[in-house]
Each structure stands twice: as C-alpha cells, then as structure tokens.
Chain A
C-alpha cells in the first residue's frame, strides 16, 4: 500500500524563478493538503484540495497556487520565488474534506526547496 509520495525530494532554485512540486496521495485518499515547514518551525497550512477545487487556504500570498487532478494527485506551484520560500514542503492526504475522527493526516516525506 503506497503511502503519500512527493517529488522532487530536493531542489535548488534562484530568486524570481518558479517551482512545481508534486504529490500523490495515499491509496484510497481523495483530499490533499499542503504545508510549508520553515527551519525551526512547525508546518504551516497552505491550502487544501478536494474534488479538484481549493477548499481552504492559509495565510499565503497568491504566488502560491495549486491544482488537483482527477486521479487525486496534486501540484503546488510557487511563482516569483523569494529567499524566504526556502522550506520543506509537505503534502498530506486524507479521505474526504471533513476531518476523520481518528485525526490522522498522512504526510509525505516532503520536498526541500532551497532558494538562492
């Protein structure tokens, strides 16, 4: 049973560039959430996708956008990269838009983005 998979695991970009990160949810899951974890901080919610639509959004600028495909996989796009965008980007999947009573979100290992 494949868990949450993310690609790439590491990447380096320069300021002003654009980046696309990819996520495949755990088998059977249909909801994907993205989190940003800066160094020394806890993960911060970026947005959630369900039924190919953005359902909830955290306090992130419009430079951060996403997409969900019919197979439930998802992409996170960040435009006009800033040094402060350097972080670990985590994808989490779950079943249904609502939060399950077990409280589990399944996280991938993340994509570490470095902006120079």
Chain B
C-alpha cells in the first residue's frame, strides 16, 4: 500500500527553466510533508517542508505547494540549475499524535537539468 506516490520516475528540464515535481498521498492523517534531495553515494538531505495548515512554503529557488483537498503537493524549482540534478523524494508524516520520525517516502523522481 503506497501511501505516498511520485508517479514520474524521471524529469528532464533545461537550465534556467522551472522544474515541477509532483507527489500524491492517500492518508488524510498526514499533517507534515517534506522534500529530500539525494545525490548518488550520499544520504538524502532535507530540502524544504510544509505543514498541512499552510498551502505554500518558499525557500529561495524552492517552493512547495500543498493542495489538501486533492491530497497533492508539488515542488517548484526556479530557475533550475545543473547542480539540482538529483533524485527528489517526497515524504509525509503524521506529526501530531504520532510523534515519531517515521517518514513515509515516495519512490522518488530523478531530475536531470540540462545545461
């Protein structure tokens, strides 16, 4: 039962353009969502997060949008840079009432930013 889904295994974007990575979830109890970036031979690194009480969170070139009614979130990277090329994982957690570090991850999207 895949509770967090990333339906696009890969995405290719030109440098300077916008990258949009999508994520869907099925469990309405999730109340906190995160994006992690992973380079080869490295562990995932935290990128940006959003609470379910918000619909947008921005950090520099990265913006995460949350649509609770659709159980959908997206990560926008503007402008995209070659160094952004990595696997991006969407993750979700039931933060309140759960109080654990049990992140539920999606399967990841490989982003390739072409120079």
Contacts and interface: CB of A to CB of B under 8 A. Distances in A.
Interface in A63-116: 90, 92, 94, 97-99, 102-110
B59 to A, nearest CB: 11
Given A42-B4, A42-B106, A99-B93, A4 B43 contact: yes
Nearest to A94: B101
A108 B43 contact: yes
Given A103-B49, A109-B41, A110-B43, A48 B105 contact: no
A84 to B, nearest CB: 17
Interface string A30-46: 01010100001111110
Given A43-B89, A90-B44, A102 B104 contact: no
A58 interface: yes
Interface of B, secondary structure class, is loop
B11 interface: no
B44 A56 contact: no
Interface in B94-115: 95, 98-108
A98 to B, nearest CB: 5
A42 B89 contact: yes
B46 A109 contact: no
Contacts of A109: 41-43
B53 to A, nearest CB: 12
Given A42-B89, A42-B106, A42-B108, A99 B101 contact: yes
Contacts of B101: 31, 33, 45, 48, 56, 92, 94, 97, 99, 105
Interface of A: 4, 31, 33, 35, 40-45, 48, 55-56, 58, 90, 92, 94, 97-99, 102-110
Among all A-B residue pairs, the 7 with the closest Cβ atoms:
A42-B105, A107-B43, A103-B49, A104-B46, A56-B100, A98-B99, A33-B101
